Structure 1
Amino acid sequence: MDQLLDRGNESSSAPEPFPEIRTISAGRPLVWLAEGLRDIGRTPLASLGMGLLIALVGAILLGAGWKANYVAPAMLGGFLLVAPFLALPLYALSAQHERGERSEVSRAWGSVRGNAGSIALFGLVLMLAYIVWERLAAITFALFYRGEPLNVANLLPELFLSGRYNQLLLAYFAIGALLAGAVFALSVVTAPLLLDRPRSDTVTAMLTSVQACLRNAGPLLLWALLLAGLTLLGFLTLTLGFVLIFPLLAHASWHAYRDLVAR
């Protein structure tokens, strides 16, 4: 009897098996955006409220960033790196919609506790990636930029229209694209998976994310471009656009996870 109980305890605490990855069609990222928009319609106050919070924080950080040459452009890359972690409560709301449950913001925040250790470790990975990106951005600007301090009035004309900083832009975007691509591959389904499967660990979730990218390179390249393009639009509106864009991308990312990873 004791042996049977021990086996039962071992099976209940066994780690989650490696998830099965689905192959999806090329246009699925557009469907994810449509489903994300529907989720916003189901919980507009919670979704847009989270978007407003992100927009306000982004405006504060971006406003402070104009005082340093490299910080303001680095905000775009930094946002892309940490966004999967910030969107956790919105993933939980989408999960509630999917299960046909009543949407409750308090329960959405509370669901993070189910796998808090792995989620916190993933957040640490994203934070380290952001620190690396910020340092690389600083070094790149130090090597190539010799103009006056940038501010909101002269940032875009000085960098993009003057023609004096083509080498800076090439190096900046090449480094940013490589780092962002690596983080995207490691995180495209990681945060939703950790939220949805409390027994999953961070390493397994990130490996699942990489496998999803390898199996669906075309659709996920489109998804990465949509994420980057809409995030850029949010910054071009001085973060005001994030009121809608952030919850849209967060809810859509949940549906991306559900499409890519089988139950």
Structure 2
Amino acid sequence: MENTEQTVTYQQPKMPEINAVSFATLRGTLKAGIDDFLKAPLFGLFFGGIYAVGGWIIIASLNYLDMPWMIIPVAIGFPLIGPFIAVGLYEVSRRIAAGKPLVWSEVLFVMFHQRERQLSWMAFVVLFVFWMWIYQVRLLLALFLGFKSFSSLPKFVEVITTTQEGLLFLGVGTISGAVLSFVLFSATVISMPLLLDRELDFVSAMICSFKAVFKSPVPMLSWGVMVVVLAFIGMAPAFFGLIVVLPVLGHATWHLYEAVIGSENPAGTGKG
């Protein structure tokens, strides 16, 4: 009796081509993001509301723990977790482009299904960077301001803006925060929608995202700055602005992904 052996070979998914983008591309993606929000406002308000409620819970928790001075660092780091929640917005934009009906159960199922795919690893990366930011702030507080306990947020702001130690803390914290933000933005700006749209490992997706940033550094970094500025504007009125700002940015990011790489699965079937 002849025995035959079958050799199973693993084929690495093909890395997608990266297209350069311009400022005209960014204007087009932002307009497309606004259009998608207006076409499906309830979905946008729902996902934007998650951000707002999360912000309120954080503020209430810090006040309850008598740590109001941590509100600013946490508020700065809070948008870092935004890309993962935006998966639902990416799916909405994908379905709008394909002309598919927007069904709540199907959109939410796509988000729930990501726990079994590579996108769950990206969530770990994002949260890890967020915690690095929080611990970095606490380390800098210990180095420059000692282990002081600030009685209120205004007192904390007064110390970091009117004392030499506070200004050093502010300067070093801004620089280190900018580095962390650059790394996280470069790693996630394209990788999140890419992992929703295609079967690719999360490391390859991050490499694609970095390539996209380095191929069009000025437009892409300008996009990142615009996202940060709009997120801060949205947080100013007690996080209420995020209910609209972040859904628009989420939809726009999907269209930026399509401009950089293009959707392999425009009908939104099977892979999401």
Tell me the CA shift for residue 156 of structure 1: 4.6
- In the other structure, the counterpart of 1:249 is 249
Rate the CA distance shift 1:19–1:154 in 2: closer, same or farther, 3 A.
Answer: same
Contact 2:69 2:150 survives alignment (8 Å): no
User: 1:144-163 to 2 correspondence within 5 Å?
Assistant: 144-145=144-145, 149=150, 151-154=152-155, 156=157, 158-160=159-161, 162=162
Contact 1:70–1:141 (CA under 8 A) maintained in structure 2: no
1:3 matched residue in structure 2 = none
Check the 8 A contact 2:29/2:255 in 1, yes or no: yes
- Residues 155, 235 of structure 1: alpha-carbon distance in 2 compared, 3 angstrom cutoff: farther
Alignment match, 1:79: 78
Compare 24-33 and 86-95 and name the one that shifted more.
24-33
Between 30-39 and 17-26, the greater mean CA deviation after superposition: 30-39
User: Could you tell me whether the CA contact under 8 Å between 1:115 and 1:195 is conserved in 2?
Assistant: no
Structure 1 ranges of 4+ moved more than 4 A:
152-158
Identity of aligned residues (%): 24
Amino acid at match of 2:59: L
List alignment gaps of at least 5 residues for structure 2.
1-5, 265-272
CA 1:163/1:114 → structure 2, altered by over 3 Å: closer, same or farther?
closer
Q: Name the structure 2 match of 1:237.
A: 237
> What's the offset of the Cα at 1:155?
5.1
- Are 1:105 and 2:104 matched, yes or no? yes
Q: TM-score, normalised by structure 2?
A: 0.85
> 1:36 is matched with which residue?
33
One-letter amino acid of the structure 2 residue matched with residue 40 of structure 1: F
Letter matched to residue 217 of structure 1:
P
Q: Residue in 1 aligned with 2:53?
A: 56
In the TM superposition, residue 59 of structure 1 has moved relative to its aligned partner by 1.4
Within 2, Cα distance between the matches of 1:168 and 1:118?
37
Is the partner of 1:19 in helix, strand or coil? coil
Say whether the 8 Å CA contact 2:69–2:152 is kept in structure 1. no
Deviation at 1:115, TM superposition (A): 7.4
Q: Compared with structure 1, are the counterparts of its residues 191 and 239 closer, same or farther at alpha carbon in structure 2 (3 Å cutoff)?
A: same
* CA spacing shift, 1:28–1:163, aligned 2, 3 Å: farther
C-alpha change, 1:109 and 1:61, in structure 2 (3 Å) is same
**Matched residue type, 1:103:** L
- Alignment check: 8 A CA contact 2:190 2:209 kept: yes
Q: Give 1:28 shift.
A: 2.3
Root-mean-square deviation (CA, aligned residues, Å) is 2.3
Q: 1:177 to 1:70 in 2, by over 3 A?
A: farther
Distance 1:200 1:55 in 2: 31
Q: Could you say if the C-alpha distance between residues 150 and 209 of structure 1 is closer, same or farther in structure 2, counting changes exceeding 3 Å?
A: farther
Aligned length in residues: 253
- For residues 39-68 of structure 1, the C-alpha deviation after alignment (integer angstroms, 9 at most, x for no partner) is 111111111122122201111102333532
Shift of 1:143: 1.9
Separation in structure 2 between the aligned mates of residue 212 and residue 118 of structure 1, nearest angstrom:
19
Q: CA separation in 1, counterparts of 2:244 and 2:122?
A: 25
Q: Partner of 1:17 in structure 2? A: 14
Determine if contact 2:118/2:202 at 8 Å carries over to the other structure. Answer: yes
